[in-house]
Amino acid sequence: MIADVAFDAPVRHSFSYRIPDGWALVPGQRARAPLRGAARVGMVVAVRDGADTELKPLARLVDTEPVLSKAQLDLVGWIAAQSLSSVGSTCAALLPPPVITDVGGSAARGHAAAGRPASPKPELLIGAGREKRVLERLETGETALVLAADVETAARWAQRLAKIDRVVRLDSGVPDEERAAAWGALRDGSARLAAGTRSALLAPLPSSATLVLIDEYEAAHKPPGAPRMHSRDVALERAAREPLALLLTAATPSAEAWWRAESGLVRFRLMTSTLASFQRRAPSAIHGSHASAARTPGTLFAAIDAPVPVQQKHTPVAHSPLATSAPTCRPISAHCSSPPPGGPTSTSSCPRASRSAATASVSAVRSSDPNAIRMISRLEKNRYGVGTSASRTSRNVEYGTKSTPLRAHQAASVLLANTMSASSAAL
């Protein structure tokens, strides 16, 4: 018998070894074998008939039972192909470190390939009550695996799950022996709740189990190294291949999750507290019989984009003695106050009118004051990046015959003071 073994190396092919007599070996087990003068741990990806005395024999088995089923091995092959990684590197990243023991040629039991029911559609939970909804779901007694973006978050979720039932951890925050024992506890059913990080994506789960990915938008779900793929994509693919219920939580969903929700690939769930906030913001867009439809992304976007009814007022007309034409009064918002009846208008009551008056004053002063001309030119250079030096935090603005280092807001103050002086002189 010949075994094909994939190692954690940047090569796409596996290496063939001779299986010693008396060994019962199946794909999905890890074995130690010689490679370039040293014994290394690899994943057995295939076992085939054959006899070749020139092949090196396997040294020892690492796992008494397969850590990956046939379906999971196929998933590993898909991950490796999609991320341009090797099968061995993918297994090394998504499996707990092996605990080397002298297993020898122990008998191995393969995973049954019985017919499985179809997987339910994944759900995307957003809003303030998303984590509470997850905990309520896990209290029903189902086997569940909660995956977090980092070790600290996984530890916090392990503490929360411990209030429900026994929980095991599958992240690097615990010793390797404990991680290996947790993997076995999930496989034999002695533990039904587990928390971990991306290295637990392939943990053994029974049919109708629940897989939860916390904060699917987090970039930490795609750490450097092989496989170069986000945990969200791996979880979605696994849920499509196995009868698992997948829950994705997010405070601010990623663009990929939004697209899947709008395409109908993921069921969108907006928590009640978040829905109520949108109802308060745009009651005409979400209320009454349309409340259930508001749980879809399209209706949610319509609620976000819906205009908030406000009482608009007209901005006062700002008159400048140096302006050639007065700015047009436009209704912009309720922040601008109307001018007092019969009183003079003030440019300070409306930002848009103030900017228009200042622009007109600057244009008039530009041709009469040489100091203002130099300051305006320098400010324009700083704004548009023309002729500026490497340092943009400080500029030398000429004022009269003295060159003074000024910051941008100080230069603007000098320009404004000079403009007001010119306006007073013109009066």
Question: Are residues 7 and 40 in contact, defined by beta-carbon separation less than 8 angstroms?
Answer: yes
Residue 155 within any structural domain of the chain: yes
Same-domain status, 236 and 134: yes
The pLDDT score that the predictor gives to residue 37 is: 85
Examine the fold and report which residue of 270, 297, 323 is the final residue of a domain before the chain moves on. 270
Whether residue 81 is found in the same domain as residue 143: no
Residue pair 202/170 in contact by the 8 Å Cβ criterion: no
pLDDT score recorded for residue 208:
86
The domain total for the chain is 3
* CATH code for the domain of 145: 3.40.50.300
Q: Please indicate, yes or no, if residue 225 is contained in any of the structural domains.
A: yes
- Measure CA of the first residue to CA of the last residue in the chain; give whole Å: 104
Burial of residue 331, with CB atoms counted within 10 A of its CB: 0-12 exposed, 13-18 middle, 19 or more buried: exposed
How far apart are alpha carbons 287 and 294 in whole angstroms? 9
Angle at 8 between CA 217 and CA 202, to 5 degrees: 45
22 and 142 housed in the same domain: no
pTM for the full predicted model: 0.64
Query: Could you read off the pLDDT of 17-45 as tens digits, one per residue?
Result: 999 988 989 999 999 999 988 999 999 99
Structural domain range at position 45 = 2-94
Same domain, 70 and 209: no
Q: Which residues of the chain have pLDDT under 50?
A: 107, 110-114, 278, 282-295, 303-304, 308, 310-349, 351-358, 360-362, 364-367, 379-380, 382-412, 414, 416, 420, 423-424, 426-427
- Same domain? 89 vs 7: yes
- Give the per-residue pLDDT at 52: 84
Nearest partner of 345 among 360, 326, 325, 363, judged by Cα: 326
Which of 249, 270, 291 is the endpoint of a domain? 270
- For residues 68 and 193, membership in a common domain is answered with no
- Domain of 86, CATH number, reads 3.40.1440.60
In the listed set 230, 247, 270, which residue is the last one of a domain according to the structure? 270
34 and 127 together in one domain: no
